[in-house]
Structure 1
């Protein structure tokens, strides 16, 4: 015998039929209330920042072909193209250069409304390309959001960014997030958080560890739905830094070992990401805070593993080497450098590793325009003041406070 049960939800107050909507977020809110009442660990709320997971059919197809899911690859390619491009035309050209097929949807007036992209070789049974719209890949990859990011990056000075200038921009942004945590008026910290996502994504090509760090920070770069974000000058500067990194990385080729300036920049990014983790934690965004902390630890660990007793020419960035006086004649035999000079260089490089290890508890700034074998490698702890050394002004920003430990899973 089969028993069929028909259930209709009816409101108790009006006795009218009720159709539930958004019941899962409401269930999560109710669960948090129960956790607080019983003194349990309060888990993170559903804030709409989780990445879209590939569907089962997409996963099975990728497994048969021995590839990663198409949406994952496309999201990475679209994000990289959006950083290097300054507008829709360059964006489409960058994706086309990578072999991806892009179609732009336009209004009758000719204004762009959206776009869709397909991976080469990803076809339906009928032989048609499988397209994904930008908003389906990630919320921040829709055309309106990309247009907003391009307009933000176009603000301010159009001058090229040097390696030391990129590091200073990152340090100033970190100080701004710290000021926002203390309630001081300034630029919108969530705007800086969004722009930091492009910087971390630009580090992806340096190594597999940084690729994992970029994947982890992807969720931390998203703000909960309903939160209005305004990007100011600091966020625009970070987007220009990310564009600079990707362009230089594309022209440099594979990277075996980074130079000292590359390590300094990566360590500064790690400090910024850790400050962002504290910002999220202060606002109860447990998922984003955990993602940012894990990303910062990976970046700092990558720096620590590559701290060597010596220097190699920077390859990951276009590090401008300051030259003073005439170019040396390499045909003339010279005496080796003094032992004291070599020891000073070793001490400076060791400071990078020490700072990377200490960044697990609190960030240490890497600042100052020193010189070691022709590279900018003067690293000193932050003093909280502005000083002028050599030919450039350097901002010594306050050391980052310890991030509060958070709860919840980054998933």
Structure 2
């Protein structure tokens, strides 16, 4: 069950939308299924016309707003703060059964109690209503003003507590289990981003930018190099600095992605993925400086990947790895996959899948160590050498051996994550291993077309670009 919370100021406008036809006439039979006072469906607005959307909403809206009116709260933002209307949508997975109105009403109450918004035994709590207009989801509108004191309040840690409540409901009702709010997932594109991308016939900017930022971070050694890497392939980058001049953060945009006013649409690194904030990138650059330079990066990468697998396996057996944090080894392994992602679409898929499995949970501070530093350093060398995959039979063999070693490491990581109850990160690691296995098998059999070309790592379209200068006469594509 996926929950999403937004804040607003006009509960009347929210109720009118939820009880109306929707933006694309997608709402069907909108109805009140639960309320703060237990009257539930008795609050269903009376029909005033021929359609299901012709209803008298006034009594319900006035009842919900009464505590806010008593508190003299406005219906628009006057102080730059979040609105006191708490709007939560809760949706089940596509494969889950259709729940009844009674089940959804109970779910609404469990979510409100679990998030600390309202409990059934708190008669002076806020007023709220749950509305259903589709089979797979409901909406809960809450006015965050207590009825007994008419004082506005803010719930504490409502987002993570809401996620925990949703997981309890999933287990109780046998629904699809969703991930914990552990900060390992990338930020999903919003509805507006998805619709804009569909109109343009391209992927959402957020996905492309996350991939480009990760590749630039692996290739760079500092902030200036990071900016140069992104600008060299056509992205816009701005650095936010402290009064002292020290960099604090950054934001990035596609040059062709503009708002209705013609301004570039920027995304900060932390809004792309939790591990793409500037402090996290700087930590990785500092670690990479401690690694040693290898004469043959492909073979050196395989040795370091095998050592990383040994460290993860030792941690699974309960052995303490001296001077090493396994979380950081796992995260650094993704740098190696990112370094290889530009050489073929198959490896790019594996890299994107493993990214979720490699991120440490929110609040975890991985301890840096020599294995992680070596992985980050060799990843940078792989990007710079552009040797994946090589043109000769010897380097091809080394390339396949490296990818096979990475597959074994990702499977070890999957088992390690599974033992820690991180089912979704384990699944991401397994998916990455399968993608790597397919690439290695095709390449070993000589049947991987994208593995037989020298490719440019800097692609603004999200696909590898052919570096024609690196192709021999017999390799040039025809047509």
Q: TM exceeds 0.5?
A: yes
Deviations 1:187-242 (A, max 9, x none): 21101111011111222122222211111111111121122211211001111121
| 1:238 aligned onto 2:388 | no
**Distance in 1 separating the partners of 2:389 and 2:164:** 49
SS of residue in 2 equivalent to 1:237: helix
Q: Match for residue 125 of structure 1?
A: 260
Deviations 1:327-379 (A, max 9, x none): xxxxxxxxxxxxxxxxxxxxxxxxxxxxxxxxxxxxxxxxxxxxxxxxxxxxx
**Distance in 2 separating the partners of 1:56 and 1:19:** 27
Q: Match for residue 210 of structure 2?
A: 75
Q: Match for residue 207 of structure 1?
A: 344
Q: 2:276 aligns with which of 116, 141, 151?
A: 141
Query: Are the equivalent residues in 1 in contact too, given 2:209–2:254 (CA < 8 A)?
Result: yes
| 1:303 aligned onto 2:361 | no
Q: Match for residue 6 of structure 1?
A: 64
Q: 1:218 aligns with which of 355, 360, 374?
A: 355
Q: 1:181 aligns with which of 316, 325, 328?
A: 316
Further displaced range: 135-144 or 146-155? 135-144
Deviations 1:33-60 (A, max 9, x none): 5677899997643322121111222222
Q: 1:155 aligns with which of 278, 290, 293?
A: 290
Q: Match for residue 45 of structure 1?
A: 180
1:161, distance to aligned residue in structure 2 (A): 4.8
Q: Match for residue 102 of structure 1?
A: 237
- Judged with a 3 Å threshold, the aligned counterparts in structure 2 of structure 1 residues 39 and 86 are, in CA distance, closer, same or farther, namely same
Further displaced range: 122-131 or 33-42? 33-42
| 1:263 aligned onto 2:400 | yes
Q: Match for residue 385 of structure 2?
A: 248
Query: Are the equivalent residues in 1 in contact too, given 2:347–2:439 (CA < 8 A)?
Result: yes
1:281, distance to aligned residue in structure 2 (A): 0.4
Q: TM-score with structure 2 length normalisation?
A: 0.59
Q: Which has the higher contact order (CA 8 A, sep 6+)?
A: 1
Query: Are the equivalent residues in 2 in contact too, given 1:281–1:289 (CA < 8 A)?
Result: yes
- Judged with a 3 Å threshold, the aligned counterparts in structure 2 of structure 1 residues 106 and 160 are, in CA distance, closer, same or farther, namely farther
Q: Match for residue 280 of structure 1?
A: 417
Query: Are the equivalent residues in 2 in contact too, given 1:83–1:198 (CA < 8 A)?
Result: yes
- Judged with a 3 Å threshold, the aligned counterparts in structure 2 of structure 1 residues 95 and 33 are, in CA distance, closer, same or farther, namely closer
Deviations 1:240-279 (A, max 9, x none): 1211221122x77998997111000000011111111111
- Judged with a 3 Å threshold, the aligned counterparts in structure 2 of structure 1 residues 92 and 32 are, in CA distance, closer, same or farther, namely closer
| 1:167 aligned onto 2:272 | no
Q: 2:201 aligns with which of 66, 70, 89?
A: 66
Query: Are the equivalent residues in 1 in contact too, given 2:210–2:272 (CA < 8 A)?
Result: yes
**Distance in 2 separating the partners of 1:113 and 1:148:** 13
Further displaced range: 155-164 or 222-231? 155-164
What is the 5 A alignment of 1:17-28?
17=146, 19-28=154-163
1:125, distance to aligned residue in structure 2 (A): 2.8
- Judged with a 3 Å threshold, the aligned counterparts in structure 2 of structure 1 residues 98 and 42 are, in CA distance, closer, same or farther, namely closer
- Judged with a 3 Å threshold, the aligned counterparts in structure 2 of structure 1 residues 64 and 188 are, in CA distance, closer, same or farther, namely same
Structure possessing the higher radius of gyration over alpha carbons: 2
What is the 5 A alignment of 1:369-408?
none
Query: Are the equivalent residues in 1 in contact too, given 2:353–2:432 (CA < 8 A)?
Result: yes
Deviations 1:297-343 (A, max 9, x none): 11012111222389xx99779xxxxxxxxxxxxxxxxxxxxxxxxxx
Q: Where in structure 1 are there 5+ consecutive unaligned residues? A: 318-411
SS of residue in 1 equivalent to 2:239: strand
SS of residue in 2 equivalent to 1:239: helix
1:23, distance to aligned residue in structure 2 (A): 3.6
1:30, distance to aligned residue in structure 2 (A): 3.9
- Judged with a 3 Å threshold, the aligned counterparts in structure 2 of structure 1 residues 150 and 143 are, in CA distance, closer, same or farther, namely same
Q: Match for residue 406 of structure 1?
A: none
Query: Are the equivalent residues in 2 in contact too, given 1:153–1:239 (CA < 8 A)?
Result: yes
CA RMSD of aligned residues (A): 3.2
